[in-house]
């Protein structure tokens, strides 16, 4: 988890705060927006607006975290794919596999 706490490129101060709260609240699934929002003295809409101003969204932050965790958990093929999907909060294996495919596509388009 310490590797995930490092500053993420493209993230700015407020989004880093949100990311750190999400990481600290995981057990093992990630918290939902409303659970994180109570940690800020702002309305839900203000939080969303601040993230948008930084070019991010709560979903993007949690997707990035899931992508990173997926990479760490799948290294060495020591865990079953179903177990990784469960740990990351996916109720269905196919939803997890769809997310992995999306992450790979995004990564390939960034590489080009």
Tens digits of residue pLDDT in 48-87: 999 999 999 999 999 999 998 898 888 877 889 999 998 8
The pLDDT confidence band at residue 91, using thresholds 50, 70 and 90, is confident
The pLDDT confidence band at residue 8, using thresholds 50, 70 and 90, is low
At residue 77, the pLDDT reads 74
Q: What angle do CA 23, 106, 33 make, to 5 degrees?
A: 30
Residue 44 has pLDDT above 70, yes or no: yes
At residue 57, the pLDDT reads 96
Chain-centroid distance, C-alpha 14: 15
Q: What angle do CA 98, 91, 26 make, to 5 degrees?
A: 100
User: What's the predicted TM-score (pTM) here?
Assistant: 0.81
Number of residues assigned to the chain: 112
The pLDDT confidence band at residue 2, using thresholds 50, 70 and 90, is low
CATH annotation of 13-111: 1.10.10.60
Q: Domain segments of the chain: what residues?
A: 13-111
- Give the residue ranges of DSSP H helices in the chain: 13-25, 33-37, 44-53, 58-74, 81-87, 93-111
Gap between the Cα atoms of 7 and 4, Å rounded: 8
Q: Average pLDDT, stretch 37-41?
A: 95
Residue 1 has pLDDT above 70, yes or no: no
Q: What angle do CA 92, 96, 3 make, to 5 degrees?
A: 130
């Amino acid at each position: 988890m310490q590797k995930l706490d490092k500053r993420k490129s493209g993230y700015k101060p407020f989004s880093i705060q949100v990311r750190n709260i999400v990481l600290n609240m995981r057990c093992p699934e990630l918290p939902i927006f409303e659970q994180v929002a109570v940690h800020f003295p702002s309305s839900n809409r203000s939080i969303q607006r601040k993230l948008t101003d930084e070019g991010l969204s709560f979903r993007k932050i949690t997707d990035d975290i899931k992508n990173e965790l997926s990479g760490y958990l799948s290294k060495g093929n020591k865990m079953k794919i179903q177990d990784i999907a469960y740990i990351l909060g996916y109720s269905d294996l196919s939803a997890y596999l769809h997310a992995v495919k999306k992450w790979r596509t995004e990564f390939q388009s960034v590489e080009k």
